[in-house]
Amino acid sequence: MNTSSESNYLNASRGWKSWLFTLDHKRIAILYFFAIMFFFFVGGVLALLIRTELLSPKQVLVGAETYNQLFTLHGAIMIFLFIIPGIPAILGNFVLPLMIGAKDVAFPRLNLASWYVYMLGSLFALYSIVTGSVDTGWTFYTPYSTTTSGSVISMTLGVFILGFSSIFTGLNFIVTIHKLRAPGMTWYKMPLFAWGAYATSVIQILATPVLGITMILLILERAFGIGIFDPAMGGDPVLYQHFFWFYSHPAVYIMILPAMGIISEVISVFSHKKIFGYKAIAFSSLGIALVSFLVWGHHMFTSGQSELAAMIFSFLTFLVGIPSGIKMFNWMATMYKGSVSLESPMLYAMSFLFLFGIGGFTGIMLGALSVDVHLHDTYFVVAHFHYVMMGGTVMGFLAGLHYWWPKMWGRMYNEAWARITAVIIFIGFNLTFFTQFILGTKGMPRRYYTYMDQYQPLHAFSSVGSYIIGLGFTIMAVYLIHSLFRGKAAVKNPWGALTLEWTTSSPPVEHNFELQPVVVDGPYDYDRIRIENDQRIYKEVKMKSETETKVGL
């Protein structure tokens, strides 16, 4: 793809074997990119089918059972196959070693294994779709999931296997960050994306195994009736919910923390200003990661759990809001007196601020006990989590994808179209999901295939919005694919960023750097380094060869 004669990781070796057996973190990232994008596409198409079905209060396209399978698959694919691996496995794999000046992740073989495990898990999920599918919702609540027909076992087995992929990535990142930082890269000189990835990995390590055991117990319950979750056998369905949310609440921060890391990078780079409150942002990531383990019960306020437990969970839920707020305020302060350019990554970052803000505050509403009793399992919750997941994580992902695209492929995309698309998706998104907040407060329950006539107008608006999102993504697919083949060659550092990945060529050479980088300045020291924006020339002050350093001594 790259026409220049220089050797880089894309053209260093050829043939499908050199890809399928590669140990290069950059190539593994690319493998992940295609796999995950495929599933995002599938999940997105399912979403459009859901929205089409909901155009009218009566049946439009499919029957009740098919509809139930649609939203289950949409949820399960989006969560387990797209958003949880998304940022860490694609962008994290690609840039994290580059950012901290390492030649690779600590365990390249494990890294490749995680991709194969991911593919295996997705095969199980696909297998369950062709053999009767699942209609339980992505939460697999018992006793429905232990009694319904369909292939729940292969789907949950798939989820179990996907967990390993997630664990492998997390393990790799933690060790990489601990052990492979370049000389001079102290913890506080690490870019904030690395902090975000670190906090994410901690959650992946601590929470994912519990998902694993939950899925095993669910399978055993379904197959043998072991009596832990199924009341018919003496089990407690609410206990299942504890197990499930012990993983799945922290998992929502697996989704958002890396996105927040990207936003920190992008806002600082596109404001050309030193990030405000570096330590506050870094430690709030860890804070969120830790507190996230204490709040899972807020998904169960009306489940019949103890009122006292509900009180504790509600209280702790609010604590999570504080560090998220700290981040938002620090990003704002970073832009203050900066030199802001609104290129497409920054536009996505601004979308993030807006949409995640709404998503976060509505999370606070759901955390308030009495209000949640009204809103639980209505479209308000649906809107909340799309605002944080699609509006938060996916916008962060898109910001990162546009930001690092030149580095990944050595090509630029069409900036004008990228900006137009950002606006289209923003508008379509708000149309789709803001209406759902109102549906929710009015009492429209979720997972409803037919509904009362009074909700129709808002549902119709929402469906139209989803088509606009679909249009946006289609344009994006076109200009990104176009860029792969026809894009202008990218320079080393198109945005004038100061982190290490921009000091190597675009795309990077096979072993990341020609010479081992040695870190002198912080990742955001825009006050110390003058950047001539117009020519986009970046003075390479940070890359000094080891020999140079030694001469210097």
Partner 1 sequence: MNSPGSFYLPAASSTMAPEVDALLQFIVVASSILFAIVVFGSFYFAVRYRRRKGSTFTDGKDHNVRLEIVWTVIPSILAFIVFFWGFNSYLKMNIAPANAIEVKTTAQKWFWQFTYANGAGSTNELVVPVGVPVKLLMSSKDVIHSFYVPNFRMKMDVLPNRYSLTWFEATQTGEYDLFCTEFCGTGHSSMLGKIKVVSDTEFRDFLNAGSALGTGQAPEAFGADLYKSKACFTCHTTDGTPGTGPTFKGVFSRSEAMSDGSTQLVDENYIRESILNPQAKIVSGFQPVMPTYQGIINNTEIDALVAYLKSLNTGQ
Partner 2 sequence: MTQHNPQSTNHVLPLKVYFAVGAALFVLTAITVGVSFIQFGAFNMVIALLIAAVKATLVALFFMHLFYDNKFFGAILSISLLFVAVFIILTMYDTEKRAAIYQEKGGPIQKEAVIYQEKAP
Partner 3 sequence: MSNTQAAYLAHHFSDAEQQRESAKLGMWIFLVTEILLFSGLFVFYAVFRAWNPDMFINAHRFLDVRLGALNTIVLISSSLTVALAIRSLQLNDQKNAGRLLLTTILLASVFLVVKYFEYSHKIHLGLLPGKYFSFQGIEGTNPHVFFSVYFVITGLHGLHVIAGMLVISWVLLRTWQGEFSSEYYTPVENAGLYWHLVDLIWIFVFPLLYLVG
Tokens describing residue 454: 């009074």
Q: Using CB atoms within 10 Å of the CB of residue 227, give its burial: 0 to 12 exposed, 13 to 18 middle, 19+ buried.
A: middle
Q: Give me the phi and psi of 512, to 5 degrees please.
A: 75, -55
Tell me the window of 87-95, 205-213, 372-380, 509-517 that interacts with partner 1 (CB under 8 A).
372-380
**Site size with Cu ion, rule: CB under 5 A:** 1
Question: Which residues, in sequence order, are bridge partners of residue 378?
Answer: 445
Q: Give me the phi and psi of 471, to 5 degrees please.
A: -60, -45
Report the residue number, 107 or 315, with the smaller CB distance to ligand HEA. 315
Tell me the window of 227-235, 275-283, 358-366, 420-428 that interacts with partner 2 (CB under 8 A).
227-235
Question: Which residues, in sequence order, are bridge partners of residue 492?
Answer: none
One-letter identity of residue 85: P
Q: Is the dihedral of CA 50, 55, 61, 66 positive or negative?
A: positive
* 249 belongs to the binding site for Cu ion (CB under 5 A): yes
Residue 72 CB neighbour total at 10 angstroms:
24
* 57 belongs to the binding site for ligand HEA (CB under 6 A): no
Residue 68 binds which entry of partner 1, partner 3, Cu ion, none, CB below 5-8 Å type-dependent: partner 1
Kindly state the smallest distance separating residue 377's Cβ from ligand HEA, in Å.
6
Q: Give me the phi and psi of 387, to 5 degrees please.
A: -65, -40
Contacting partner 2 (CB under 8 A), which of 2, 65, 236, 420? 236
Kindly state the smallest distance separating residue 227's Cβ from partner 2, in Å.
8
Contacts of residue 448, defined as CB under 8 A and 6 or more positions apart, other chains included, come to none
Residue 210 binds which entry of ligand HEA, partner 1, partner 2, none, CB below 5-8 Å type-dependent: partner 2
| CA–CA–CA angle 53, 137, 366 (5° rounding) | 95
One-letter identity of residue 475: I
Report the residue number, 226 or 491, with the smaller CB distance to partner 3. 226
How far is 301 from 306, CA to CA, in rounded Å?
9
Kindly state the smallest distance separating residue 426's Cβ from partner 3, in Å.
39
Residue 434 binds which entry of partner 1, ligand HEA, partner 2, none, CB below 5-8 Å type-dependent: none
Distances (CA, A) of 232 to 42, 59, 143, 144, 146: 36, 34, 8, 11, 10
Contacting ligand HEA (CB under 6 A), which of 9, 32, 80, 82? 82
Residue 29 CB neighbour total at 10 angstroms:
23
Kindly state the smallest distance separating residue 391's Cβ from partner 1, in Å.
12
Residue 74 binds which entry of partner 2, ligand HEA, Cu ion, none, CB below 5-8 Å type-dependent: ligand HEA
Report the residue number, 151 or 432, with the smaller CB distance to ligand HEA. 432
* 227 belongs to the binding site for partner 2 (CB under 8 A): yes
Tokens describing residue 496: 């004038």
Residue 310 CB neighbour total at 10 angstroms:
19
Kindly state the smallest distance separating residue 299's Cβ from Cu ion, in Å.
6
Quick one: CA torsion of 62, 386, 162, 191, rounded to 10 degrees? 160
Tokens describing residue 515: 């010479």
Question: Which residues, in sequence order, are bridge partners of residue 16?
Answer: none
Distances (CA, A) of 513 to 98, 177, 184, 428, 507: 8, 17, 16, 41, 11
Site string for ligand HEA, 423-452 (x = CB under 6 A): ---------x-------------xxx----
* 72 belongs to the binding site for ligand HEA (CB under 6 A): yes
Residue whose token pair is 């509809």 = 67
Contacting ligand HEA (CB under 6 A), which of 101, 367, 400, 517? 367
Contacting partner 3 (CB under 8 A), which of 46, 83, 98, 210? 210
Tell me if residue 378 falls in helix, strand or coil. strand
Tell me the window of 29-37, 44-52, 113-121, 293-301 that interacts with partner 2 (CB under 8 A).
293-301
Contacting ligand HEA (CB under 6 A), which of 83, 190, 202, 266? 83
Report the residue number, 108 or 132, with the smaller CB distance to ligand HEA. 132
* 144 belongs to the binding site for ligand HEA (CB under 6 A): no
Tell me the window of 17-25, 111-119, 251-259, 339-347 that interacts with ligand HEA (CB under 6 A).
251-259
Residue 126 binds which entry of ligand HEA, partner 1, Cu ion, none, CB below 5-8 Å type-dependent: none
Tell me the window of 26-34, 214-222, 335-343, 461-469 that interacts with partner 3 (CB under 8 A).
214-222
Contacting partner 2 (CB under 8 A), which of 73, 112, 210, 262? 210
One-letter identity of residue 417: W
* 398 belongs to the binding site for partner 3 (CB under 8 A): no
Kindly state the smallest distance separating residue 303's Cβ from partner 2, in Å.
9
Contacts of residue 311, defined as CB under 8 A and 6 or more positions apart, other chains included, come to 369
Asked whether 173 and 88 are in contact (CB, 8 A), the reply is: yes
Residue whose token pair is 């000189």 = 189
| Residue numbers at the binding site for Cu ion (CB under 5 A) | 249
| Residue numbers at the binding site for partner 3 (CB under 8 A) | 102-108, 110, 167, 171-172, 174-175, 178-180, 205-210, 212-214, 216-217, 220-221, 224-228, 233-236, 239, 242-243, 511, 516
| Residue numbers at the binding site for partner 2 (CB under 8 A) | 206, 210, 227, 231-236, 238-239, 242, 246, 293-294, 296-297, 304-309, 312-313
